[in-house]
């Protein structure tokens, strides 16, 4: 089976779906790898490194024309990826980030093209699939980079310094949302010497916050059932968010940096930091909103823009993993490598819908949308259950 890796076409994207080391590993698993010339250049991987690991270089059109399996970060199911979709052919297998919950119409377009598409955002949170979890990998990079962006814009140093010119007090950082990105942000801010506190609607994460040296902020809110079966925070009611905002205002005001990470797949991000909270912060403070792509956790956030309001700098980056493309690509490629090996455990590629990971990530097959949740978003009726083999 030929696996093809095209250069990412999304503006500003510097990552690549497969790094040279993974090419060698996939070759051992029975895959032939073709890579578009220059695909890894922006991430720091040369064409020579790919060929040294057994990959064959070719042009973009040839990648799509010859590959049985196309590996991408930003798959053609995402909004604005129509050009890539036009290069795909019926029966081709696509593996990448497809944004099916945020852009279900893109999934419908994939089905109409006749491709078999897998969406790596939907890898189930089970023990066996941890090594395939691209969202956690990219969130790790985003959490780290968010702190660096904050430090670059903050007009003060992060650590406490005792100098001949006097003692400099440490910066104070507040992290809202303690998932993978939040924990990495906490750990990075601590390494830079900041005093860190964090909050999450899920009280179960308190021990994780304490384990990385931060203070866990607790509010007087009913949080039973705040976490779904996948470990994500559930969407909360308008009244819950109102009370949360009231209690959070004093915490936001006393911190120099606020990093927000609260995002719900396929939904608009909840507004946790209001304009009034921003106005209460000290001039020069910084907010880094990691939920900007879905509208933002801060009321004043604008995606991919720097907003200054009341003397506070509000950053809404949507490309943080791409700003550290070498290691982001390395992590993503390892996730993809593991995923593909699970589809070809004995060197023979197959799609076993009885496998929880396959069933959870398979979007389209045979010209139809087959993922139940995406079908629901598209208003399509549920598919009839498939009879077990042998019946």
Annotated active-site positions, please? 125, 130, 133, 136, 232
Q: Cα(273)–Cα(133) distance, rounded to whole angstroms?
A: 29
Distance in angstroms (rounded) separating the CA atoms of residues 143 and 336: 21
User: Is there a contact between 34 and 6 (Cβ–Cβ < 8 Å)?
Assistant: no
Half-sphere exposure of 113 (CA within 13 A, CB side): 24
Residues 6 or more apart in contact with residue 369 via CB below 8 angstroms = 107, 108, 111, 363, 375, 378, 380
Instruction: Please answer whether residues 144 and 185 qualify as being in contact, where contact means their C-beta atoms are separated by less than 8 angstroms.
Output: yes
**73 alpha carbon, distance to own chain's centre:** 10
| The two three-digit tokens of residue 263, written as one number | 């995002």
383: which 2 tokens? Answer: 């598919």
Spatial CB neighbours of 139, under 8 Å, sequence gap ≥ 6: 179, 180, 181, 184, 261
| Nearby residues of 42 by Cβ (< 8 Å), 6 or more positions away | 13, 14, 15, 16, 325
Q: 319, 336, 322, 304: which is closest to 44 by C-alpha?
A: 322
Q: Work out the number of other CB atoms within 10 angstroms of the CB of residue 215.
A: 13
- The structure tokens listed for 364 are 């389209």
**CB of 309 closer than 8 Å to CB of 300:** yes
For residue 189, the tally of other CB atoms under 10 A from its CB is: 32
Token couple for 83 = 């050009």
Say if residue 20 is exposed, middle or buried (CB neighbours under 10 Å; 0-12, 13-18, 19+). buried
Q: Would you put residue 38 in left (φ > 0), alpha (ψ -120 to 50) or beta?
A: left
First-to-last CA distance in the chain?
Answer: 30
């Amino acid at each position: 089976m030929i696996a093809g890796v095209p250069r990412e076409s999304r503006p500003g994207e510097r990552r690549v779906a497969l790094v040279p080391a993974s090419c060698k590993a996939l070759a051992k698993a029975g895959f032939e790898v073709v890579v578009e010339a220059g695909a890894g250049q922006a991430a720091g991987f040369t064409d020579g490194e790919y060929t040294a690991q057994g990959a064959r270089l070719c042009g973009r059109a040839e990648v799509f024309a010859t590959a049985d399996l196309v590996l991408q970060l930003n798959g053609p199911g995402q909004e604005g990826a129509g050009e890539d979709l036009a290069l795909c052919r019926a029966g081709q297998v696509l593996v990448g980030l497809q944004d099916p919950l945020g852009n279900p119409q893109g999934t419908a377009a994939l089905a109409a093209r006749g491709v078999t598409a897998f969406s790596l955002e939907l890898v189930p949170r089970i023990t066996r699939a941890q090594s395939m979890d691209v969202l956690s990998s990219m969130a790790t990079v985003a959490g780290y980079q968010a702190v660096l962006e904050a430090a670059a814009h903050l007009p003060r140093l992060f650590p406490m310094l005792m100098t001949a010119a006097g003692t400099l007090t440490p910066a104070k950082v507040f992290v809202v949302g303690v998932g993978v990105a939040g924990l990495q942000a906490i750990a990075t801010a601590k390494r830079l010497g900041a005093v860190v506190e964090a909050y999450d609607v899920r009280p179960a994460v308190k021990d994780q916050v304490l384990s990385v040296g931060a203070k866990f902020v607790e509010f007087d809110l009913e949080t039973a059932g705040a976490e779904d079966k996948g470990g994500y925070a559930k969407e909360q009611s308008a009244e819950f968010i109102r009370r949360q905002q009231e209690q959070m205002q004093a915490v936001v005001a006393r911190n120099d940096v606020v990093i927000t990470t609260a995002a719900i797949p396929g939904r608009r991000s909840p507004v946790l930091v209001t304009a009034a909270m921003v106005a209460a912060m000290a001039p020069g403070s910084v907010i880094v909103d990691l939920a900007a792509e879905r509208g933002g956790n801060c009321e004043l956030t604008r995606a991919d823009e720097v907003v200054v309001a009341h003397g506070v700098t509000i950053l809404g980056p949507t490309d943080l993993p791409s700003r550290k493309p070498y290691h982001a690509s390395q992590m993503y490629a390892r996730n993809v490598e593991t995923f593909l090996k699970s589809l070809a455990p004995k060197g023979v590629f197959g799609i076993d819908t009885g496998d929880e990971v396959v069933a959870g990530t398979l979007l389209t097959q045979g010209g139809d949308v087959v993922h139940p949740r995406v079908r629901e978003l598209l208003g399509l009726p549920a598919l009839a259950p498939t009879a077990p083999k042998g019946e």
